A and B are shown apart, each in its own frame.
Chain A
Amino acid sequence: MISMPPSVERTTPVRPIPAEEIPLAKNSRGFFPSRFATIFGVVTIAATVIALILAAGGPLLVNHVSSDVPAGWTSVYDATPNDPASWRAQEGCNITAQGLDARGDQNQDGCGFVPSQENDLLSQGFILKATLAPDGSLKGYQAPFIAIKGGSDEVYVVFEQSGAYTVCINDCLRNTLNFTSAWHTDGFTTNSIAVEYRPGSDAQGSRIVVYANGQQIEAVAADISGNPTLVFGALREVDGIYGEALFTHLTLYSASGSSSSSGS
């Protein structure tokens, strides 16, 4: 048995350590100091251009609320909803200079829109566009709803300031909240909701189509035949804060309406 003296082990040659970098004596000139930097830079520039094109082209990929009203349809209301004659006098439905301020803690059923109660403006088809004041201008939490009541189906369109929404037919208890990135959540930008109903307009039958800030976010089958009415309101409470919605402008196009109202 051969034993190895310690001196042998100690003097075994050692591979040099791959050197670590230290600062360069001088930085390279130009934007791309190496091939890696060139490739990295080109890829980053390409990614930026592609991302911008994709974001710019994004709106083409979804449906938006039509600015063209179908032939024969008429504008039955296009005004700031601050005329007391258009609203049933109820607690929680405050008529202000800015429009209809609905408070959910005072009235959970919403504020009835009188023109729709006096005439059948909805069952033959309609387009409703509602503009809301920014959340930052409210004392409560912005949580508007628009309801179509009294028809074969009752439809609720509910939004929250966080971008959460739901469209429920007859029963909202079992509905889960969806989210839309079309909603302005900053509290300083106005949001708008549009609801469109075209009975039997295509092979899918009658549908309620809901838009947030012009972008289609939901389309559900619904039949609102009968004599439905429009109701505007706010949720009672969200996260411990009472719900509120200030409707600053309403536009209603109807397939069956004949009256036209315009306000401030």
Chain B
Amino acid sequence: MADRIFCRNCGSPVEGSGTQCRVCGAVLSSSGGPTPAAPLPEAQPQPTSGNPGQPAAPGIYPYPYAYPPYYGVYPYGQSPAAPPNTQGAGAVPAPGYPAYPQGAPLGGGSYTPYYYGYPYAYPWAYTIPVKPRPAPGETYAKVVSGIVIGAGVLSILCALLVIGLSALIAAAGQFDNLPVQDLLLVPALTGTIGGGMAIYYGIRGIMRRPSPRFRLPHPLLFVGLTAVVLVGEIVLWHLELGSGPGPSITDVPLVLLSGVLPALAILSFTSWRLRMPATRRHVVMSLLYGLTLGPLLALILEIIVSIILRLLPSGASSLSASDPVNVIRLLLEISVAAPIIEEGVKPLGALLIMPRLRTPVSAFLVGLAGGIGFDMFETTFTYIGSGQADWIQVALVRVGAGLLHGLGAGMVALGWYYFINGKGVSRRWLKGIGCMAYAVAQHGIFNASSVLVDGLPEPLHGWLNQVFYVGKLPIAVIELPFFGLDLLILVMLIFITGRLMRPWNGASGPPVPAAIPAANSPTTAEPAPLGGTVR
């Protein structure tokens, strides 16, 4: 029954015959007792193996639930099933216990009921089953699962509403329009699929079913499929120049894939590079949050900010060097407000489960998944369809957008990790703020570039507004600097993930990450310093 053992300090599985928990660093050997990364509270339970009377190796829990017999509140008297009488009248005292004449009158013919609680109970069979107390953080996890189920139901209802709207528009003959199809089909698909998966994972979360490790296929598969989709569409675009295009609805699956596949390639790349450090439930739920609720929240907040900023006096409706107020307003809107809002909103799914994440790499990956989901929605919902017959050009330009959104969300989640789980980490507030500031700055610079290139002086402006051709497909030269920015962000992603994995790759063994903080938890230890993580 007790096939797997778990660290009693942090609950992580202990593989093989290791003498130290890979997660919290607690020493698992039986010689000197448990030596956690930080001192354990005094009221630690003393778990034993499933064999009554046989103490387990200190620091190790047998699993699942192979606890020693528990007697709970055991009133005076002897357990009917208790074989040897050690407590009753004339009983032989258990080793280490003084002879205690229970059953015999005490002082004046009365007695005081006495209760033996674990671990001082009788080390043999019992009759009163007691449901184990919830694990630390279990209630929180169930509340989160309930929220996820609620969001899933809401998501499906919204999707059904959108599907009804699509039917009305189709009936009115206005549906053969790629932007409209994207506007309707993307929320309908993400709402139903995301909502359904949210309910599934929410129910499994409430049932406390364990989730397997998140493993995607190798990133080269997604890179290859992305290339197939983009090259295939470039070929089709050329063919249709002569023969004429088909109905836009037949392009929708390719449009969706051209937005989803590059994003999956980035997620897979990061996951493989971090050696898959999170559960499928956490990564998928963060991704789905980024696909559904995240963009909705961002949209609402950005509309509010936009309305406020438009109260600023401005005479021009577009960017004009002669109207500095308008330039400032635009820059405030797209390179300050939008990055703060989007980088704040994208990792909220990861933030919700942050107390469950025990390593910076997990936090980074789960946060990045939220950004990837956000990018998938933004790219397919807002951008690609606007290209109409030339959507392939938009898809090419947006191929690296997942890097911006993914790395940004991962960094913000990392910042939250230091704030919430990083107790004991040196300068953790500075690190947390630094991670978040990087994400906002990266996004702000990217967005500001798209505004400022319009204000460049001639002949630079004219040169950037030229096109070059892939076959007959025109690509604006102005997009090249943004490809360069994407490349820089990819380099940053490689650098950050490399730093995050440095302690896991080191010869000195695994790092000592923070334990899951849970108040009033007998398994709570002080988070240990994150040796060798991002500095």
Contact with B along A175-187 (1 / 0, CB 8 A): 0001111111110
Known contacts: A12-B118, A22-B22. The answer to whether A184 contacts B254 by CB under 8 A is: no
Residues of B within 8 A of A44 (CB): 217, 221-222, 225, 261, 264
| In contact, B474 and A57 (Cβ under 8 angstroms) | no
Query: Counting CB contacts under 8 A, is B359 at the interface?
Result: yes
Contact A31 B217 (CB under 8 A): yes
State A23–B215 Cα separation when bound (angstroms). 11
Residue of A nearest to B518 (CB): A17
Query: Which residues of chain B in 117-176 are interfacial with respect to chain A, using CB atoms and an 8 Å cutoff?
Result: 117-119, 130, 132-138, 173-174, 176
Interface residue from B75, B180, B362 paired with A21 (Cβ < 8 Å): B362
Residues of B within 8 A of A37 (CB): 215-217
Cα of A32 to Cα of B272 in the assembled complex, Å: 11
Residues from chain B with Cβ under 8 Å of A36 in the complex: 212, 215, 280
Once the chains bind, are A22 and B130 in contact (CB under 8 Å)?
no
Q: Does A50 contact B (CB under 8 A)?
A: yes
Bound CA span A28–B358, Å: 23
Residues in chain B near residue A7, CB distance under 8 A: 117
Contact A16 B245 (CB under 8 A): no
A57–B240 CA distance with the chains assembled, in angstroms: 11
Q: Tell yes or no: B454 within 8 A of A by CB.
A: no
A4, B501: Cα distance in complex, Å: 48
Q: Mark A99-133, 1 if CB is under 8 A from B, else 0.
A: 00000000000000000000000000000000000
Contact of A54 with B244 in the complex, beta carbons under 8 Å: no
Complex A-B, nearest 3 residue pairs according to Cβ-Cβ distance, in ascending order: A58-B246, A214-B244, A58-B250
| Residue contacts A-B, CB under 8 angstroms, 10 given | A2-B113, A27-B275, A31-B220, A40-B217, A48-B257, A52-B232, A55-B251, A56-B236, A178-B174, A179-B179
CB proximity to B under 8 Å, residues A115-172: 136, 162-163
Question: Which of A20, A32, A40, A51 is the one whose CB lies under 8 Å from B229?
Answer: A51
Contact A189 B474 (CB under 8 A): yes
Measured CA separation A24–B225 after assembly (Å)? 26
Query: Total number of A-B contacts with CB less than 8 angstroms?
Result: 269
Q: Check A23–B359 contact: CB distance below 8 A.
A: yes
Q: Mark B448-466, 1 if CB is under 8 A from A, else 0.
A: 0000000000000000000
Q: Please tell me if the beta carbons of B210 and A18 are within 8 angstroms of each other in the complex.
A: yes
| A22 CB contacts on chain B under 8 angstroms | 12, 22-23, 277, 358-359, 361-362, 510, 513
Q: Which residues of B contact A (CB under 8 A)?
A: 6, 10-13, 22-23, 43, 45, 47, 61, 63-65, 67, 70, 72-73, 75, 113, 115, 117-119, 130, 132-138, 173-174, 176-180, 208, 210-218, 220-222, 225, 228-229, 232-233, 236, 240-241, 243-248, 250-251, 253-254, 256-257, 261, 264, 272, 274-280, 317, 356-359, 361-362, 386-391, 393, 467, 472, 474, 476, 501, 504, 510, 513, 516, 521-523
Known pairs A7-B117, A179-B179 / 4 extra A-B pairs, C-beta < 8 Å: A14-B134, A24-B276, A55-B251, A211-B244
Within 8 A of B (CB), among A51-95: 51-52, 54-62, 64-65
Q: Please, how many angstroms separate the alpha-carbon atoms of A24 and B510 in the complex? A: 11
Tell me whether A183 and B180 are in contact (CB under 8 A): no
Measured in the bound complex, the distance between the Cα atoms of B250 and A57 in whole Å is 8
CB pair B132 A14 closer than 8 Å: yes
Contact B45 A58 (CB under 8 A): no
Q: Is A181 touching B245 in the complex (CB atoms < 8 A)?
A: yes
Chain B residues with Cβ under 8 A from A55's Cβ? 232-233, 236, 246, 250-251, 253-254
Q: How far is the CA of A25 from the CA of B356 in the complex (A)?
A: 21
Q: How far is the CA of A214 from the CA of B135 in the complex (A)?
A: 67
Chain A's closest residue to B391 (CB) is: A181
The reply to whether A40 and B132 form a contact with Cβ atoms under 8 Å apart is no
Q: How far does the Cβ of A215 sit from chain B's closest Cβ, in whole Å? A: 4
Q: Which residues of B contact A48 (CB under 8 A)?
A: 225, 228-229, 257, 261
A45 at interface by CB-CB < 8 Å: yes
Which residues of the partner chain B approach A24 to less than 8 Å between Cβ atoms? 213, 275-277
Which one of A2, A8, A61 lies within 8 Å of B250 (CB-CB)? A61
B213–A54 touching, CB < 8 Å: no
Among B115, B251, B390, which residue has its beta carbon within 8 angstroms of that of A8? B115
In Å, the complex CA distance between A37 and B276 comes to 12
Q: Are A4 and B387 in contact (CB under 8 A)?
A: no
How many Å from the CB of B471 to the closest CB on chain A? 12
Residue of A whose beta carbon sits closest to that of B520: A10
In the bound complex, what is the Cα–Cα distance between A2 and B179 (angstroms)?
70
Report chain A residues within 8 Å CB of B134.
Answer: 14-15
**Pairwise interchain contact B390-A64, C-beta atoms closer than 8 A:** no
Question: In angstroms, how far is the closest chain B Cβ from the Cβ of A151?
Answer: 26
